[in-house]
Amino acid sequence: MVIKTLDIQTIRKDFPILQREVNGQPLVYLDNAATSQTPQQVIDVIVDYYQGYNANIHRGVHTLSQEATDAYEAARQKIQKHFNIAHSHEVIMTSGTTHGINLVATGFTSFLKKGDQIIVSAMEHHSNIVPWQMLCERTGAILKVVPMNLDGELVIEEYHKLLSDKTKLVFCNHVSNALGTINPIEEIIEAAHKVGAAVLIDGAQAAAHIKADLQALDVDFYTVSAHKMCGPTGVGMLYGKEEWLKKLPPYQGGGEMIAEVTFEKTTYADLPHKFEAGTPNICGGIAFGAALDYMNSIGFDAIAQYEDELLQYATEQLLAIDGLKIYGTPAHKTSVISFNIEGAHPYDIGTIVDKLGIAVRTGHHCAQPIMDFYKIPGTVRASFSFYNTREEVDKLVEGVKRARNMLL
Amino acid sequence: MTIKEIQEEIVEEFSMFDDWMQRYEYMIELGKSLPLIEEQYKTDDNLIKGCQSKVWVHAELDGDKLVFTADSDAIITKGIIAILIRAFSDQKPQDIIDADVEFIDEIGLKEHLSPTRANGLVSMIKQLKLYAVAYQTQLK
């Protein structure tokens, strides 16, 4: 297959924010794993919504409400198509990945009993640890953890050993936010299903890099946030297999999620509305659809190829710096580099490069167990998107060198 | 020197630099001269809450004056605490309680720190003042 070469300078013009300066320097935005930037095409959709057809959806008889409803439901269908989901009612619109995880974790309370087991990976984001701990507290289920090795890969043999007929749920991120590791979710899902366990995959970090085919994966739940893939904050989607979504109880009560209400009894609306109580983030949902259109117009194969090249270049250049160590060296990873310089604190490096206009993340990246594993307080994390350039990598390298000279 | 005089001295020193990189370099230098806390006092009780890098502060009376020592795992944080300790250490607890901290704004420190670090700075000042309150009560 021939993959098209991206014209990065043209793509960069789509992102107004990339033209700005920070501390008197051109912005070098390398915190894409925290949130991606928004192209004009998506910003236009947001402006159009508020200027042209802002209205509440699903209930109104008037024209604006109908237009907003059509646009919102069209976005749901774009999400369905993008992730190759069988039915649009299996797409639950959420406020983001964390909302999706909590919806499932809360819903499973009634399905679990004391002694049941839940498996999570050692490289989860706090948002994929805490809800399960809370679920275990409520039900008496036990949390088991799949360990990782020094390269930042899951020890998959240990996962297979943990699986048993007691395993009811397995949770794993598709891509680790702290290390960039792409986890072998195909194997994880298949093995879990053999013991009858359901699987939730946190796709937050994968979504901007990998176009997941959810039917092919045969995953039970998959959840993403729009803001990691050129969309706005505060909106995301939870995919659930129809059979699971029918079984799960509603997460929140309110308008939109009901069929009939009397003081004696309420009957719930059909999918997906059963899980969508209250007025949703209508504009955000529509913009999420526009973000998928935008990314697909560039093409995920081309994005992956370009980001891989950028990752390799950045890895080589950073490793040439004296005392620099990269955390997370798995065979398969996305364009994320977590690193430290021996003798320097990640906060200090982040602070100094910020003064040079370079945005990186520092800290434990909401994945404290990983930092404990490596016995470090945190890392500096540079995460690259398809709109970043080699010149920006060079600026990062220069900035880190300068920080090193100042700090050591 | 009084707290106010020391603060004015710090403000003057910082006004000599043209840009923030130079100020950071100076803060790193100050961090290296921080009066270090003894290892035995690096306990969780002496950790300042609200800082993302670790900061330990210890206070003890020397006559009627309060002396601070501290440490941090991050060097810029060490510089920040060094500035505060220079202003507040070896002073009477009541003077520390009464001192205003406008010099922090005058050197522009807060606005040039990340929000997490700025929060940490506020926590540090609060902690130094709390020590002063505690020892003031003891002195009485």
A231 vs B105, which has greater pLDDT? Answer: A231
Number of domains in chain B: 1
Residues in chain B within 8 Å Cβ distance of A345:
53, 73-77
- Chain B contact for A261 (CB, 8 A cutoff): no
A384 vs A364, which has greater pLDDT? Answer: A384
Q: Could you tell me the CATH number of the domain that includes residue B37?
A: 3.90.1010.10
User: With bands split at pLDDT 50, 70 and 90, how would you rate the model's confidence at A258?
Assistant: confident
Active site residue B51: yes
- Mean pLDDT, chain B, as a whole number? 88
- Chain B contact for A352 (CB, 8 A cutoff): yes
Which residues are within 8 A (CB) of A71 and not within 5 positions of it... i.e. 6 or more apart?
A: A49, A53, A286, A289
Q: What average pLDDT does this structure show over A88-113?
A: 95
| pLDDT at position A274 over 80 | yes
Token representation of residue A19: 């033209």
Of B92, B116, B96, B118, residue with least CA distance to B105: B118
User: With bands split at pLDDT 50, 70 and 90, how would you rate the model's confidence at B21?
Assistant: confident
Among A345, A355, A406, beta carbon nearest to B74: A345
Count interface pairs A-B at CB distance under 8 A: 40
Which residues are within 8 A (CB) of B119 and not within 5 positions of it... i.e. 6 or more apart?
A: B50, B51
| Per-residue pLDDT at B50 | 61
| pLDDT at position A188 over 90 | yes
Chain B closest-CA separation from residue A378 CA (Å): 9
Q: What average pLDDT does this structure show over A304-322?
A: 97
Judge contact between B20 and B79, C-beta under 8 A: no
Residues in chain B within 8 Å Cβ distance of A361:
none
A128 vs A85, which has greater pLDDT? Answer: A85
Q: What average pLDDT does this structure show over A357-385?
A: 91
Chain B closest-CA separation from residue A390 CA (Å): 25
What is the extent of the structural domain holding B83?
3-139
- Chain B contact for A376 (CB, 8 A cutoff): no
Is A348's CB within 8 Å of B117's CB?
no
Residue of chain A whose alpha carbon sits nearest to that of B114: A351
Of A114, A193, A189, A173, residue with least CA distance to A336: A173
- Kindly report, residue by residue over A69-84, the tens digit of the pLDDT: 999 999 999 999 999 9
Judge contact between A113 and A139, C-beta under 8 A: yes
- Kindly report, residue by residue over B30-77, the tens digit of the pLDDT: 998 898 999 999 988 888 866 568 899 999 999 999 999 999 988 988
Torsion angles phi and psi, residue A191, rounded to 5: -65, -40
Quote ipTM for the complex.
0.83
For chain B, what percentages of helix, strand and coil (3-state, to nearest 5) are there?
Answer: 60, 15, 25
| pLDDT at position B118 over 80 | no
Q: Which residues pair with B62 in a beta bridge?
A: B65
Q: What average pLDDT does this structure show over A41-63?
A: 94
Fold of A8-30+299-407: Aspartate Aminotransferase, domain 1 (3.90.1150)
Chain B closest-CA separation from residue A348 CA (Å): 6
Rounded Cα gap, residues A79 and A81, in angstroms: 5
**Three-state DSSP class for A196?**
coil
- Chain A contact for B117 (CB, 8 A cutoff): yes
The HSE-up count of residue A350 (CA atoms within 13 Å, CB side) is 29
Token representation of residue A169: 């749920």
Residues in chain A within 8 Å Cβ distance of B28:
406-407
Residues in chain A within 8 Å Cβ distance of B114:
350-351, 354
In the set B3, B34, B48, B51, the catalytic residue is: B51
Rounded Cα gap, residues A197 and A163, in angstroms: 9
- Mean pLDDT, chain A, as a whole number? 94
Residues in chain A within 8 Å Cβ distance of B54:
377
Judge contact between A334 and A209, C-beta under 8 A: yes
Token representation of residue A326: 């990269």
| Per-residue pLDDT at A126 | 84
Query: Taking phi first (over 0 means left), then psi (-120 to 50 degrees means alpha), and beta for anything else, what does residue A180 get?
Result: left
Chain A closest-CA separation from residue B35 CA (Å): 18
Residues in chain B within 8 Å Cβ distance of A355:
20-21, 24
- Chain B contact for A401 (CB, 8 A cutoff): no
Q: What average pLDDT does this structure show over A181-203?
A: 98
| pLDDT at position A259 over 80 | no
Is A348's CB within 8 Å of B76's CB?
yes
Rounded Cα gap, residues A86 and A242, in angstroms: 9
Residue of chain B whose alpha carbon sits nearest to that of A363: B52
User: With bands split at pLDDT 50, 70 and 90, how would you rate the model's confidence at A303?
Assistant: very high
Residue of chain B whose alpha carbon sits nearest to that of A346: B74
* pLDDT more than 70, % of chain A: 99
Is B75's CB within 8 Å of A344's CB?
yes
pTM recorded for the entire structure? 0.91
Is A347's CB within 8 Å of B77's CB?
yes
Domain range A43-296, its CATH number among 3.40.50.720, 3.40.640.10, 3.40.50.10420, 3.10.100.10: 3.40.640.10
| Per-residue pLDDT at A54 | 96
User: With bands split at pLDDT 50, 70 and 90, how would you rate the model's confidence at A1?
Assistant: low
| Per-residue pLDDT at A267 | 79
Of A368, A381, A299, residue with least CA distance to A334: A381
| Per-residue pLDDT at B19 | 84
| pLDDT at position A320 over 90 | yes
| Per-residue pLDDT at B128 | 93
- Chain A contact for B29 (CB, 8 A cutoff): no
Ranges of each domain in chain A: 8-30+299-407, 43-296
Judge contact between A326 and A318, C-beta under 8 A: yes
